[in-house]
Amino acid sequence: MRPDRWWVADFTYCWTLAGFCYTAFCVDVYSRRILGWRVMSSKTTPLVTSVLEQALFTRRRTDLRFTATGLIHHSDAGSQYTSLAFTEALRDSGIAGSIGSVGDALDNALMESAVGLYKTELIDRNPVFSGRAELERETASWVHWYNTARLHSAIGYRPPVEYEHIYHQQTISAEVV
């Protein structure tokens, strides 16, 4: 296994004093790293498309050799993920789409777990957010902490960014030998 073989995605709703907002995520299965996220006041296709764009940008920003060829993007069967615009965004990026069966959260369990951590570690621990801007600011802070400081048992009690760094260091060392 290695980074950028399999990404999972989903979104959740969050109540604010200004009404519901929706937070979407894209996570690399290998490292548990959140590569893309977005908070919007509607749950239309641009919510999930912008998360995919951010995930691709995250990878390209740190690795000019990054290619999405061979990458699988898995999500539930929500209308946002089955839309023509999202399907085209995957195809244009060279990513193979994978969609779970309707009503089966278990086939996207890793993503459901990440959303559960977001709800438990950020949303449930705070009083009601004033609106989208505050939720977005707090989500940015939480994502940074999640990726750079939070320990994940599935990856040897390391933060995702550190786990990926170790992989890349080992890969470079193997190429030199």
The pLDDT assigned to 103 comes to: 61
CA distance 68 to 49: 15
The pLDDT assigned to 106 comes to: 57
The pLDDT assigned to 83 comes to: 97
Whether the predicted pLDDT of 177 surpasses 60: no
Q: Where residue 127 falls among pLDDT bands split at 50, 70, 90?
A: confident
Domain boundaries, given as residue ranges, for the chain:
6-176
| 8 A C-beta contact, residue 86 and residue 118 | no
Instruction: Express as a percent the part of the chain with pLDDT over 70.
Output: 95
The pLDDT assigned to 172 comes to: 75
**Segment 54-103, tens digit of pLDDT:** 999 999 998 888 999 999 999 999 999 999 999 999 999 999 999 987 66
| 8 A C-beta contact, residue 23 and residue 37 | yes
**Segment 90-125, tens digit of pLDDT:** 999 999 999 987 665 556 889 999 999 999 999 999
| 8 A C-beta contact, residue 99 and residue 90 | no
The pLDDT assigned to 105 comes to: 55
pLDDT, the chain, mean: 93
Q: Which two tokens stand for residue 29?
A: 């299965």
Q: Strand order of the sheet with strand 19-28?
A: 34-40, 19-28, 6-16, 72-75, 96-99
Q: What is the pTM of this model?
A: 0.93
**Segment 128-155, tens digit of pLDDT:** 999 999 999 999 999 999 999 999 999 9
Fold held by 6-176: Nucleotidyltransferase; domain 5 (3.30.420)
Whether the predicted pLDDT of 25 surpasses 90: yes
